[in-house]
Amino acid sequence: MAVHEVERDAMTRALHAAARGPRGVNPQVGAVILSAAGEILAEGWHHGAGTPHAEVDALSKLPEGAARGATAVVTLEPCNHTGRTGPCAVALIDSGITRVVYALDDPGVTSGGGAERLRAAGVEVESGVQAEAVHALIEDWLIAHRLGRPQITVKWAQSLDGRAAAADGTSQWITGPQARADVHRRRADADAIVVGTGTVLADDPALTARDHDALYPHQPTPVVIGTRETPTDAAVRRHPHEALFYDTRDLAAVVADLHARGIQSIFVEGGPTLASAFIAAGLADRVLAYVAPVLLGGGRVALTDIGVSTIAEARRLAVDEWVPLGADLLAIAHFTPGVNETDLNETDLHEPDLDEGVR
C-alpha cells in the first residue's frame, strides 16, 4: 500500500518529537497516531531509559478504544521484546491499530522483529519512510549499538614535522584561529571529551565547547583519565557538567562505563600519551589531525608508542576528507579493517610530567 503524504508529514512530526527525548542508552524515538481520516490523534516520544516507549507514550494520551482503525507513524520499528517495558508491537496490536508506518528497522537482535509480529497479526506495515532523516538523528546511537561502545574520535594538532609541542613543552598555539574554532564545533557534537591528567596538570583546560566567548548550547561531559590527582581548583571542575575522573589506565573499562552511562560519542583530545594509548588499544574509530605549517623539531611528537614495531604492523587509515582551515589543514580519516590491535594490558600507559596542551 502506498504511503500517503499525510503519513510523510506525520513522520516529520514524529522526528521532531523524537528529538525532544534525551540521548542515551536508548535511541531517540517519536510516534504520531493518525485517525483513518488522517487527523493527528496523539503524539509521543521516549523520555529516557525505563519510561514508556514512544508508541506507548502516544497511545496513553488517547481514550480507551480511540486508536481502533488508526495508523501509527513511528521513527523506529516498534520493538518486539520485553525489557523494562513491554513490546510496543503488542501494545499497538492490542490498541486496535490497523496500519504502522516506520522509518528504520530496529537493529537489535532481541528488540527487532516488531514488523513481522505486526504483519502476523494482520496489521499493514510500511517501512523506509524518511529513513535518511531519522538515520541522521540517531546515527551516533546506531554506531554505538553496532560497536557495543561509543564511537571514538582521537584528535591532535601537530606541526608539519609531527610535533605536538616545542622542546620546552609549550603548545599554544600550534594551529591558527580557524582550526581552533573547528575543534570547538566538533567538541559540541560529542557526548564526552576525554583527556589525561598530564594535560590537566600542564594546561588546566576548561574542556568546554566555545563559540568565541560564548558556550555552545550542547557541552560534552568532561572525562579525565589517569592516576594523578586533579587539583581542586582545576578549570575542569567548573565545567557546566560534572567531570568524570577515572583513576585507572584500563581504557576498555573506562569506555565500557561511559557506554553504560549512555555516552554515544567520545572526543579524545590527548595528550600524546593518552591518544596513543587509545589507538594502541584498538579503541579509535576516527582521527582528526590538524596540521600547521610550522616546524618545531625536538622529541615532543604528536603520537608516542602505538604498538607498531615494523612497517607491516602500521595502523592503516583511509582519509575521508582534507579540510583547509586558514593556513592549517585538517585530515579526517578512519581506520581500515584488518589493522592489528594491541591488547591494552600489553600497552604501557606512561604519564609524562609535562603533556601537550589542548588547542
What is the average per-residue pLDDT within 321-329? 96
What pLDDT was estimated at residue 2? 62
d(CA 160, CA 143): 33
Nearest to residue 72, comparing CAs of 55, 88, 50?
Answer: 55
pLDDT level of residue 354 (50, 70, 90 thresholds) = very low
> How many CB atoms are closer than 10 A to CB 177?
12
pLDDT digits (tens, 9 = 90+) for 72-93: 999 999 998 777 677 899 999 9
Q: Please give the share of the chain, as a percent, with pLDDT higher than 70.
A: 91
Q: Give residue limits of the domains in the chain.
A: 5-138, 149-346
C-alpha cell recorded at residue 348:
604501557
Q: Please give the share of the chain, as a percent, with pLDDT higher than 90.
A: 74
What pLDDT was estimated at residue 355? 38
**Could you tell me if 311 and 292 are in contact, meaning their C-beta atoms sit under 8 angstroms apart?**
no
Strand order from edge to edge, sheet including 286-292: 244-246, 221-225, 192-196, 265-270, 151-159, 286-292, 328-335, 317-325
Is 3.40.430.10 the CATH classification of the domain at 149-346? yes
What pLDDT was estimated at residue 81? 77
d(CA 5, CA 10): 9
pLDDT level of residue 327 (50, 70, 90 thresholds) = very high
Question: Any idea which residues carry the catalytic annotation?
Answer: 55
Pairing between β-strand 151-159 and β-strand 192-196 as defined by DSSP bridges: unpaired
Please give the C-alpha separations between residue 108 and each of 26, 44, 142, 325, 345, in angstroms, as whole numbers: 11, 22, 10, 40, 31
What pLDDT was estimated at residue 172? 78
Architecture of domain 5-138: 3-Layer(aba) Sandwich (3.40)
Please give the C-alpha separations between residue 122 and each of 38, 78, 92, 244, 309, in angstroms, as whole numbers: 20, 15, 12, 49, 61
What pLDDT was estimated at residue 1? 54
C-alpha cell recorded at residue 165:
609541542
What pLDDT was estimated at residue 358? 37
pLDDT digits (tens, 9 = 90+) for 150-198: 999 999 999 999 999 888 877 778 899 999 999 999 999 999 999 999 8
pLDDT digits (tens, 9 = 90+) for 208-255: 999 988 999 999 999 999 989 999 999 999 999 999 999 998 999 999
pLDDT digits (tens, 9 = 90+) for 2-33: 668 999 999 999 999 999 999 888 899 999 99
